[in-house]
Amino acid sequence: MSVNPAIRHDWQLDEVQALYALPFNDLLFKAQSTHRAHFDANEIQISSLLSIKTGSCSEDCGYCPQSARYDSDITPEALMPIDKVLQAAQAAKNQGASRFCMGAAWRKPKDKDIERVVEMVQGVKAMGLETCVTLGMLTDEQTLRLKDGGLDYSRPIRYTGACA
Ligand code: SF4
């Protein structure tokens, strides 16, 4: 893997404090200059997010309407069929998304759930989209299974269960 020499990892506290103290527009200018040096100035990455399993989560995240412990307007839905997920992914691609994110209201998915998500990941990738998931707490084996299945990005929160 090549290392970009322009990226620094040796910032000193006084340098960080000087950046923090910059007037806002100077900071904005610096940020824009750095962004333009490394990326297409006007290109943005578009993601689309689908809830593939909604509500009835056994976790107790106080802010989350998907927790089964709170009274909210959410209608719980079981894990979506793969064909419906792929239809939604195709619609997202048609609307310009390059990444499709799938979120499930699980505290801790079962291995058989992960196998279905892997099928979804593979179907979405076959369309030429990047894939992303947020699934609650995962075991190391589940994480590797998703990686080997082709997953590009994930938010497997291992400590609090908070996934939304
Ligand atoms: S684990 Fe995720 S879905 Fe479940 S209550 Fe917490 S934030 Fe909501």
Residue 161: inside a domain: no
* Residue 102 shares a structural domain with residue 35: no
Residue 159: inside a domain: no
* Residue 102 shares a structural domain with residue 33: no
Q: What angle do CA 73, 103, 93 make, to 5 degrees?
A: 110
Q: What is the pLDDT along the chain (164 residues), one digit of tens a residue?
A: 455 666 788 999 999 999 999 999 999 999 999 999 988 989 888 999 999 999 888 888 888 888 888 888 888 889 999 999 999 999 999 999 999 999 999 988 999 999 999 999 999 999 999 999 999 889 999 999 999 999 998 875 544 445 54
Q: In the prediction, which pLDDT does 160 show?
A: 47
* Residue 70 shares a structural domain with residue 85: yes
Residue 127: inside a domain: yes
Residue 15 lies in domain = 11-42
* Residue 76 shares a structural domain with residue 138: yes
Residue 6: inside a domain: no
Calculate how far, in angstroms, residue 162's C-alpha sits from the geometric centre of ligand 1: 5
* Residue 123 shares a structural domain with residue 100: yes
Mutate which of 67, 72, 77 to test ligand 1's pocket (most atoms within 8 Å of Cβ)?
Answer: 67
Residue 23: inside a domain: yes
Count the domains in the chain.
Answer: 2
* Residue 59 shares a structural domain with residue 117: yes
Q: Domain of 124: which CATH number?
A: 3.30.750
Q: Does residue 61 have its Cβ closer than 6 Å to ligand 1?
A: yes
Q: Does residue 103 have its Cβ closer than 6 Å to ligand 1?
A: no
Can you give the pTM of this predicted structure?
0.74
* Residue 94 shares a structural domain with residue 28: no
